[in-house]
Every structure is written in C-alpha cells, then in structure tokens.
Amino acid sequence: MAVKQLFFHEDENFWYETLRSLGHIAYGGADLGEVLFTAGRITSGDYDSWHEEWSATAERLRQVAAEAQRGGHTVTARDSYLRASNYYRTAEFFLHGDPDDPRIRATYDKSVEAYHRFVDLSGRGIERVEIPYENTTLPGYFYPSPLPGRQPLIVMHNGFDGTAEELTFCGGLAAQERGYHVLCFDGPGQPGTRHHQGLLFRPDWENVVGPVIDHALGRQEVDPDKISLHGMSLGGELCIRAAAFEPRLKAVIANDGVYDLGAFVMSFLDGDRAEIERALTAESAPETDAALAAAMRSGPGARWAFEHGQFVMGGATPRECAARMLDYHLRDGIAERVSCAVLVCEAADDLFFQGQPEQVHNALTAPDRTWLRFTEEEGADAHCHLGGQRYAFGRMLDWLDDRTPVNR
C-alpha cells in the first residue's frame, strides 16, 4: 500500500492492521505512541506475539481507566477505556485459526466490557441495544442525534472482521456530531453474534437489515423517510445486496464497494474461474485443497483470509470455506435492483478488492449513483480509508447530507 510501511515489511496484513489502529486516533480509538510502542515489540508474522503485545497495552490502559474512574477523573477514564477496547479488539484479530483457543472469547469479552464502560461515561447518550432477529437478538448501539425532533438515521454495520464497537471510529461519532441518529449492529458472522451465539455469515443480508430497520422504526425520534445504510469492507457488498431488496432505504454507502468475494478467492488460485468453482464445490478436489494449503503457507493474506473465513463463514476445510465465499456477490441482476441513492467508495491502493468498486458502480442502474475515489495525496488510499478517517467520513457524510439532511 502507498502509505509507508513503518513495520512488518514482509507482512502486509500485520501492517494494515497496525495502520487500522493508527487511523482510529482520529476519533479517540488509539494514541500514536501507544501504537508505535506496541507494534515495535511484535515479531512479524507471529500471531501469538501480536496477541501478547496488544493485550499488554490494552490491559495497562484498562488499569489506568479503572484507577481514574475510582478517583473521579471521568474524562481520563472514558478515553482510556475506549482505547483499551480497541486494543483488545486488535489483540484478538489473528487468533481464529484455532476456534477453540480460549484467548478468543476472553479477549473479545474484555474489549466489549471496556467499550461498555466507555459508553457509560461518554456523555453522548449512547444506548446498548438488542435487536430482535429470528429466534435471538443482534447486539448494537444507538447514538442519539444531539438535535431535537425527528432526525435522519444511518444504520451501520462492519464487514468480514470488524466489530460494532469499532464503528465508533468508522463513522459513528462522525455522523452523530453532524446531527444524525446512528444505529450500529453486529449481524450474523460478525463478532457480537459469532462469539456468543455461533452465528455464521449469510449472503441474503436484506434478511438481516430488515429486522434492524423494523427495530429502528419503533423509535419515535427517527425520521422514517430518511433512513440510510452504511457498510464497511465486505459490508460494502452486503449493504448494496440489502438495498436491492429493502425499499425503506433512502440511501446506501458502500465503504468500499465489493462486487464479488469470489474474485478475491480466485486471486489465490491459478486457472479458469469456471473450473476452479467446480473444484471448490466438488465432493473431492485434492489438487485444489493442496493449492489452497500452499497459498496459506506462502502468503500471510491467504492464511488469515481462510482461517478467519472458516471461523465466520464455516466450512470444515479452506476449500469448503472458499466455496461459501462464492455466494457473496452483486451479479445476476442484484446491483441493478437498487433504486435508492448509492455512494460507492474506492481506495486507490486497496489491499483486498482492487478494482471492484468500479465494477459495483458500473453495474448499478439507480439514477443517483456516485463513485468516490480516495487517493494517496489525501492520506486515504488504504482499504476503507483507515489512514484518513476524518477526511473520508467527512466526504461520505456530506454526500449523505445532500440526500437525507438533518431537520433543523
């Protein structure tokens, strides 16, 4: 990626996740010295080292926060809990190759607990919510608008690996301070449901977003004619898929646009796509199994993608997981069904989905569709613009404000 790699020169995934935390400085999710110190103590490519060092930083901050709270220093406690939560989230990130690893649940729970303490001290009126969904609930957070009366709502969800708590830094606070209500949630396969309920991703995301909107419309402060949806990373495919079948949406923001998760799978395999797909879905395909195993041994990106993919999408083997990934796409007329306003964002140096935002934009037929490309010059050319969050979310929310303006 174009942003200079300060650490982990042989491991783009480790560097991207470090940049992710650096980007969260913009909305209080990290501090520069803490990130640099922690990254400097990690052994490149070593998942145990990654977990150990980020956990140590998170634990130190949690103790600082608790001491500050006991002393009545609310702002220090609030800010420290928020950063601790993000660092615990980061610590847990690469552990999913062994789903029985006890560190996964323990570290995730610490992240959420620290975040809940931030919520209690934030002074922003943030509410923890449980959204009815099938025979269970989806965890989330409602950020009320600071403005009186009915106001527009932006529903937000993350993607393949992010949490509802992380959305604080990825648009939640930015939208609230502009006068929006914000409803962030974890859907099936995302951390809040995967860790405690065992729910896996599903491609028909409209059946997830629909109940979330039902829940939102039960709040009198929400303007029912100004509901929008924002999805990050793989969420950039999921949100447009939902918009294709959910008529109550006024606008949707794909950050970034993803047209076909199967194309990401193909980047790790050689050969004709149709033949690869047949092998992925076959009862037995030892050559493809061997090719995926080799890709995972030789490349950190493949290793993480399929280890995490099995954890959140299922599949007894990487090949079975890859077969499930084929269902996540906007082909076959799905993109063309979207009728609301659409913003498709692109990162000029995207590590995962290079070129796909343009594919999404070209497939759309909605009259109001915008393609917004973020560049190195803007400091926002990494996937989901995590190096330039204040700038990027400003551009996105200005676009939205032209379509669902707050009621003043």
As annotated, the active-site residues are 233
Q: Is the distance from CB of 50 to CB of 336 less than 8 angstroms?
A: no
Q: Is the distance from CB of 347 to CB of 339 less than 8 angstroms?
A: no
Instruction: Produce one character per residue of 201-240: b if its CB has 16 or more CB atoms within 10 Å, e if not.
Output: bbbebbbbbebbbebbeebeebbeebbbbbbbbbbbbbbb
Report the alpha-carbon distance of residue 317 to residue 320 in Å, rounded. 5
CA distances in angstroms from 403 to 52, 154, 293, 348, listed in the order given: 45, 12, 47, 26
The secondary element (H helix, E strand) that includes residue 296 is: helix 286-298
Report the alpha-carbon distance of residue 348 to residue 362 in Å, rounded. 17
Report the alpha-carbon distance of residue 241 to residue 207 in Å, rounded. 10
Q: Is the distance from CB of 167 to CB of 393 less than 8 angstroms?
A: no
Put the strands of the sheet holding 369-374 in their side by side order.
127-133, 136-143, 181-185, 151-157, 222-232, 251-255, 341-347, 369-374
